[in-house]
Structure 1
Amino acid sequence: MLDSEFKKQRAHLLRELVEKTNDPFIKRRLLALMSRYDDRVSARTPLTPVDLKFMSQGTGSEQ
């Protein structure tokens, strides 16, 4: 389990990256990742066909 300080730092870093990017795909991916670390972000973005393709491939260790 991650401690709360690590989660706060990771969410802050991801929030900064979201603000800097102009690519909508990257922005959605970063926001989805940020929701794992930031309790204030409760709404996840809907899965796209690309997300589903990534989820269905691999052994799980690279996800």
Structure 2
Amino acid sequence: MEQEFYQGLAQRVRSMADRADPFTRRRLLDLAKRYDAKGGISRSGPTERPLPVPRTTPPASIFSGPGEA
């Protein structure tokens, strides 16, 4: 029953994506993939490049060189 629910949501989101602008379409299709995963379906599509890892420390060049204290 839960599987059918998520499949229905995924299908509804995909139909909305067909009418959306490119940015919204990409986000809606990503949402549909997540619903498919919850419903137990795996769909393979075009792979997207992962986001870069956020920097946690400032670059070393900030700490090098003479400084005033």
Smaller-chain TM-score bracket: 0.5 to 0.7
The whole-number CA distance in structure 2 between the counterparts of 1:48 and 1:17 is 25
Q: 2:15 is matched with which residue?
A: 16
Which amino acid is the alignment partner of residue 36 of structure 1?
A: R
What is the Cα deviation at residue 41 of structure 1? 2.4
* 1:45 positional shift: 3.7
User: What is the aligned length?
Assistant: 48
Deviations 1:7-53 (A, max 9, x none): 111011101101111x111011001100011224234544558xx8x
**Gap regions ≥5 residues in structure 1:** 53-63
Higher helix proportion: 1
CA RMSD after TM alignment: 2.6
